[in-house]
Amino acid sequence: MHYSCQKRIIYCVLAIIVLFILLHPNLNARRTYEFIDKADIPVNLYVKISENFTSSALIQCDYHDVLYDDTSLSISIIDEDFSEGHKIKDGGEYCPTDCKPKFSSAIIVPYRDRAEQLRGFLVYMHMFLQQQNIHYRIYIIEQVDSNPFNRAKLLNIGALTAIRAGYPCLIFHDVDLLPLKPANLYACTKCPRHLSSSINKFRFVLPYLNLYGGAIAMTTEQYKLINGMSNRYYGWGGEDDDLYARLEIAKLKLCRFEPQTSKYHMLPHKTHPKRLRRQHLLKFARTRIHKDGLNSLQYTEVATVLHPLFTHIMVDL
């Protein structure tokens, strides 16, 4: 065969392979990480309800249908208004009325200066969470000072607030992330769980195995064991990698659900400049675990307001 003809065939085959990979990002993702098989999820769930929670329902909620729900939620929900007559209590707390839930989750969202995104997030998340038959409350922790954003410190504040309110499961969640699959149960597993392992921004592929940011779930016991997160990460990036280092020290192995269930849509926003010296901080993550975290957290609570869809905690760091 003529050399130029061979070359053309090779280029064609390569183009077909590239096109195939582009059109099937999930094929790629499925190979990138270990996950809990769907059938094994029930035994891996951490069944616990808030200490002070009571329900007058006679039967226990069932989660089989939630875990096997194959539908996706439409992100167009963010443009809707929340219907009048909903069953959410002031402060953004909800519990199913026709069955006793097995899980109580505090959804903790660090926040500053994204009002429109927050509005869409709240409408979407309440729609999403109410389908799951769980008891939950949404906490928005807002940094009101003008220092660089400190995501980890806001999460520590949210965690302490939720622990005081008796929540056994903490779900840390960025405001720009929307879970697409109702089967992605917002309850804790016995292992710390990375929920958002398949995000559209990364073409639904996990960028690196130790990624533990975006949306994650930990029991209060696990969070206390690692002394929460480091308070020293001002600016974008690194704080979640530091948290992963803490899991390693405490020998807590993280887990995930399958990529298909862990799909998220990231709302567009301005990118932030990366934090200078975050590599330096990360290098010493292991030496700081016992002195930098929940036990050294300092902040001023400016106000706490119970809104119809969320508990709003404003803080000065």
**Residue number, 272 or 291, with CB nearest to ligand BGC:** 272
Decide if residue 25 touches ligand BGC (CB under 6 A).
no
**Residue number, 148 or 237, with CB nearest to ligand BGC:** 237
CB of 177 to ligand BGC, least distance (A): 11
Single out the segment in contact with ligand BGC by CB under 6 A; choices: 12-20, 66-74, 234-242, 262-270.
234-242
CB of 267 to ligand BGC, least distance (A): 15
DSSP state of 131: T
Going by DSSP bridges, is the β-strand pair 215-219/193-194 parallel, antiparallel, or unpaired?
A: antiparallel
Q: Answer yes or no: are the C-beta atoms of 140 and 313 closer than 8 Å.
A: yes
Angle at CA of residue 168, ends 186 and 82, nearest 5°: 45
Per-residue tokens: 299: 């902040």
Single out the segment in contact with ligand BGC by CB under 6 A; choices: 79-87, 112-120, 127-135, 237-245.
237-245
- As a whole number of angstroms, the distance between CA 313 and CA 302 comes to 8
Question: How many chain residues touch ligand BGC (CB under 6 A)?
Answer: 6
- As a whole number of angstroms, the distance between CA 151 and CA 193 comes to 19
**Residue number, 168 or 214, with CB nearest to ligand BGC:** 214
CB of 302 to ligand BGC, least distance (A): 27
Neighbour tally for 137: CB within 10 Å: 24
Decide if residue 148 touches ligand BGC (CB under 6 A).
no
CB of 222 to ligand BGC, least distance (A): 20
Name which position in 93, 174, 240, 258 contacts ligand BGC (CB under 6 A). 240
**Residue number, 93 or 241, with CB nearest to ligand BGC:** 241
Angle at CA of residue 36, ends 33 and 41, nearest 5°: 160
Neighbour tally for 284: CB within 10 Å: 13
Single out the segment in contact with ligand BGC by CB under 6 A; choices: 83-91, 175-183, 235-243, 247-255.
235-243
Site residues for ligand BGC, 184-223, by CB under 6 A, read: 207, 213
Beta strands across the sheet bearing 177-179 = 177-179, 263-266, 198-199
CB of 5 to ligand BGC, least distance (A): 44
Per the rule left: phi > 0, alpha: psi between -120 and 50, beta: everything else, 214 is left
CB of 69 to ligand BGC, least distance (A): 28
CB of 143 to ligand BGC, least distance (A): 17
Name which position in 179, 235, 238, 293 contacts ligand BGC (CB under 6 A). 238
- As a whole number of angstroms, the distance between CA 56 and CA 2 comes to 80
User: At 292, phi and psi to the nearest 5?
Assistant: -125, 105
Binding site for ligand BGC (CB under 6 A): 207, 213, 237-238, 240-241
